[in-house]
Amino acid sequence: SPKTMASSHRVTLALLALLALALCRTCFVGLSPSPSARGVASSVARAAAPGPPLTLTEENVEVVLQEARYHHLQNCFGYVEESSGAGITGKVDLVEVEGPMVFIHLHGAFWHNRADVLRRVKKYLMQRIPE
């Protein structure tokens, strides 16, 4: 059935993301593409509070990563003084969006292991960009 295939596809993407994490520092998070994904413009300076679901574009992924960096997952990264003061220097950068895949780069020191950070980023991205 389509629901079973979609669920299987997400599990496969999650396993591939963890494998990519183990092999290198550039990782990807699988998301479903939108037919109108390229037509939506967005500002990185958007408010921190999560809003309505977004479509999958590089601009929207950057908006969501900004929300994660400074608000919703701030304890995972070294962007805020409280975390950086505790020795957390971890950063997350968008590399590219290619079809349904989002490639990110994790670097620096994290309080949590990288697989946990990747899982949290993926979960937050999929909450904000659910397609």
pLDDT in tens, 53-93: 999 999 999 999 999 999 999 999 999 999 999 999 999 99
Question: Per-residue confidence at 14, pLDDT binned at 50, 70, 90?
Answer: very low
Using CB atoms within 10 A of its CB, is residue 61 exposed (0-12), middle (13-18) or buried (19+)? buried
Mean of the pLDDT values across residues 107-130? 94
Question: Per-residue confidence at 99, pLDDT binned at 50, 70, 90?
Answer: very high
Give residue for tokens 């990264």.
Answer: 77
pTM of the predicted model as reported, rounded to 2 decimal places: 0.64
3-state secondary structure of 95: strand
Q: Are 104 and 93 in contact (CB under 8 A)?
A: yes
3-state secondary structure of 28: strand
Percent of residues in the chain assigned helix, strand, coil, to nearest 5: 50, 15, 35
The candidate with the shortest Cα–Cα distance to 80, out of 127, 46, 48, 118, is 48
Q: Residue 27 contacts by C-beta under 8 Å, 6 or more apart in sequence?
A: 17, 20, 21, 103, 104, 105, 106, 118
The candidate with the shortest Cα–Cα distance to 124, out of 11, 17, 29, 16, is 29
Average pLDDT, the chain: 74
